[in-house]
Amino acid sequence: MDKRILMSGNEALAEGAIRAGCRYYFGYPITPQSEIAAYMARRMREVEGIFLQ
């Protein structure tokens, strides 16, 4: 059985970028992109990527 997870559209976009090979994210925290920046900041550490704000 596949593991199912629930996430927002912004989180899905960020996770898709990571799974496609994105290892660098440069962002500025503004609504509605703040959710993407927070997700990427957390996940970049896990995948040994770089996050710059």
Task: List pLDDT tens digits, range 14-26.
Answer: 999 999 999 999 9
* Residues written for the chain: 53
Gap between the Cα atoms of 37 and 50, Å rounded = 12
d(CA 17, CA 2): 21
pLDDT value for 30: 81
Q: What is the pTM of this model?
A: 0.82
Which residues share a beta bridge with 50? 24
How far from 41 is each of 4, 7, 34, CA to CA, in Å? Answer: 23, 16, 10
- 41: pLDDT confidence band, cut at 50, 70 and 90? very high
What local confidence, expressed as pLDDT, does residue 16 receive? Answer: 97
Average pLDDT, the chain: 92
Position 35 pLDDT exceeds 80: yes
Domains of the chain, by residue range, sit at 9-52
- Among all chains, which residue has been given the structure tokens 């976009």? 13
